[in-house]
Structure 1
Amino acid sequence: MSDVEKKSGRERGEEWWQTGIIEMSPGVIRLRGYEIQDLIGRVSFPAVIWLMLRGELPSEDQAALLGIALGAAVDHGPQAPSIAIARMAATCGVGINSAMASAINVLGDVHGGAGEQALSFYGDIALAIDGGTALGEAVSARLDRFFAGEKGYVPGLGHRFHPVDPRAPRLLELTREFAARGVINGRFADIAEAIEAEVARRKGKRIPLNIDGATAVIYGELGFPPPLTRGLFVLSRSVGILAHAWEQSQQSERNKGPLPREWLWAYTGTPPRPFPGEGEAGE
């Protein structure tokens, strides 16, 4: 008889969804070992996010820097697909949770995933530096591989609306301030700026860091792995999604599509034609 077969039904049930995140029983809620009542009123929301994901409480400075990154990416207006979807869903009469879920579900590789891609890119360079390669050489080698075998834009650079993303310089400035105080070491900021400089040298024009690249710097400095960067972006953008879904739900418009009803799409299919057999002689 196997060990699994020897266990009682209760033991099997308790192990089915075993977790190191939360302990809960009647009258007891503990997050990572901390009583919830001890956390309430003493720990900020960014600090709770850190605790849930990392298992330990951050320092006040670490929580503050995480909150800065989360706050920077909350919204980018109804032209952003996720925000537009939330608003359209709200006009269809669904609940606010459905509107939010509809929006969050489109935060994928193209819309919402660039931060994860940027941090992975930075991580490749950081690994080369740890192996003894100089910063400039590591950046150049990684860009060589990117331009030789990968498609699209260098992750974390450029913006389709902003010549310079107004969020990125401020985030880098704050990252440098936290590094100067010893909260972080600043290596990912160095890497991001070196990438920006090398791409500018190769292309003959500057393609500035964007919000995804700048928040990836902070998440990397704070020790978050790349996949969590996407999840943190979802948490951040959910604030804007909620705000827009709520605002739209307070308006009277119904079944609002992506364009005003007097603007129709461009039809590119077959021109009008008769149904086979209609109008033929002898019919």
Structure 2
Amino acid sequence: MTRPEGRRVSRRDVVGERYWTSSVSRVDESTVRIRGYDLEELIGGVSFSAATYLLIRGSLPTPEQTRMLDAILTAVLDYALEKPGTVAARYVMSANPNVAAGLAAAVLAVGKNTLAPEDTARFAIESFDRLQVSDRSAAEVAEEIVSEYRSSRRRIPGLGHPVFKYVDPRAQKIKEIAETLGFWGPRAAFYETLHAEFGRQTGRDWIPVNDVGMMALVLVEMGFTPDETTGVAILSTLPGVIAHLTEEQESGRPIRVIPADSVEYDPAVRDFQADKEAAGW
């Protein structure tokens, strides 16, 4: 390939297209457009929940979709100091009194063991797909899936809570609203079959579907991808984190550490010189 001296070859030169394309938003001299809509019309014209749906899914939501997403965004507002992300955020704030740093810490604590619905979403989608191609009943497929997970010592995502038994009240409320608004679909229903089968096989029928698991089921039925469900879950918890960061900053207690009486330290005392010689120095 020849090129003028000193000119770099761009991606467009190579593949005949621009390096990035985006339909999320665009800005010109006088207008900001969100998914093609003038932002000035959206300001005051739709709720934050509706605008969130528009941005993520790419189309204006129906009133029912907006109410459902609003309920989901309210379901995990806060969980006191029992949420690792909140504790991490407050520790960071005590050392670096900066809201952005605290929020970043809270977001980085989201994952497989807390707040992220994506594993449940994938499990629900894949399990239902398996049912769809099977010639067996839902009960038979559920028995097989749960047996496989148990034999391989894998945890079924979306089940269990350290406090709530039998029913997670937040999850139950989400389900009730989803049923009322028409967002309780076949994937969610089959997941309930799996949940019941898990209780039957393990004898632990007191283990509930948790709030994050229920969020995953309903968001999947609304058309959100598994990865998007975690983004929505993070968004839902940020107001609570902001409140905790403000409280931490106003407490006037800098540099929090784990209290000494909460830690058991190894009492060993080692001889550095002797060990150094023994190591061949």
Instruction: Bin the TM-score by the shorter chain.
Output: 0.7 to 0.9
CA contact under 8 A between 2:12 and 2:18: conserved in structure 1? no
- Aligned-CA RMSD value: 2.6
Aligned partner of residue 27 in structure 2, secondary structure: strand
Letter in 2 for 1:101: A
Q: Distance in 2 between matches of 1:59 and 1:88?
A: 41
Match of 1:272 among 253, 265, 269: 269
The match for 1:46 among 46, 49, 52 is 49
Is 1:118–1:155's contact at 8 Å kept on the other side of the alignment?
A: yes
Q: Which runs of 5 or more residues in structure 2 are unaligned?
A: 3-7, 275-281
The equivalent position to 2:109 in structure 1, one of 106, 111, 129, is 106
Q: Secondary structure at the match of 2:112?
A: coil
| 1:73–1:236 Cα contact (<8 Å) kept | yes
Counterparts of 1:197-216 in structure 2 under 5 Å?
Answer: 197-206=196-205, 207-216=207-216
Residues 92 and 218 (structure 1), Cα distance of their counterparts in 2 relative to 1, 3 Å cut: same
1:212-265 Cα distance to aligned partner (Å, 9 max, x none) = 2111111011011111111111111222111111111111111012x33x5252
Gaps of 5+ in 1: 278-283
Is 2:224 the partner of 1:186?
A: no
Which of 126, 129, 136 is residue 127 of structure 1 equivalent to?
129
Give matches, 1:48-197, under 5 Å: 48-113=51-116, 115-133=117-135, 134-151=137-154, 153-163=155-165, 164-179=167-182, 184=183, 186-197=185-196
Percent of residue pairs bearing the same amino acid type: 27
State yes or no: 1:220 paired with 2:220.
yes
Return closer, same or farther for 1:233/1:275 CA change in 2, 3 Å cut-off: same
User: Whole-Å Cα distance in 1 between the matches of residues 96 and 270 of structure 2?
Assistant: 38
| TM-score when normalising by structure 2 | 0.85
Instruction: After TM superposition, give the deviation of residue 44 of structure 1 in Å.
Output: 1.2
Per-residue deviation, 1:150: 4.7
Counterparts of 2:110 and 2:10, CA distance in 1: 44
Asked if structure 2 preserves the Cα contact closer than 8 Å seen for 1:168 and 1:209, the reply is yes
TM-score w.r.t. length of structure 1: 0.85
Aligned residue in 1 for 2:249: 249
String of CA shifts for 1:171-194, please: whole Å, max 9, x gaps. 122222122xxxx35323312321
| 8 Å Cα contact 1:172/1:189 also seen in 2 | no
Instruction: Return the alpha-carbon distance in structure 2 between the equivalents of residues 37 and 273 of structure 1.
Output: 68
Change (3 A) 1:7 1:78: closer
Deviation at 1:57, TM superposition (A): 0.6
**Alpha-carbon deviation of 1:132?**
4.9
Aligned length: 265
- Aligned residue runs from structure 1 range 228-239, under 5 A: 228-239=228-239
Rate the CA distance shift 1:7–1:144 in 2: closer, same or farther, 3 A: closer
Equivalent residue, structure 2, for 1:281? none
Higher alpha-carbon deviation: 192-201 or 142-151: 142-151
Q: d(CA) in 2 for partners of 1:145 and 1:205?
A: 17
Q: Secondary structure at the match of 1:30?
A: strand
Which residue type is aligned with residue 94 of structure 1?
P
* Large movers: runs of 4+ above 3 Å: 4-9, 273-277
Q: Kindly provide the CA deviation profile for residues 196-220 of structure 1, in whole angstroms up to 9, marking residues without a partner as x.
A: 2111111113111111211111101
Contact 1:74 1:237 in 2 (8 A): yes
The separation in 2 between residues aligned to 1:129 and 1:178, in whole angstroms, is: 25
What whole-Å deviation, never above 9, does each CA across 1:107-130 have from its counterpart, x for those lacking one?
Answer: 1222233x1111111111221233
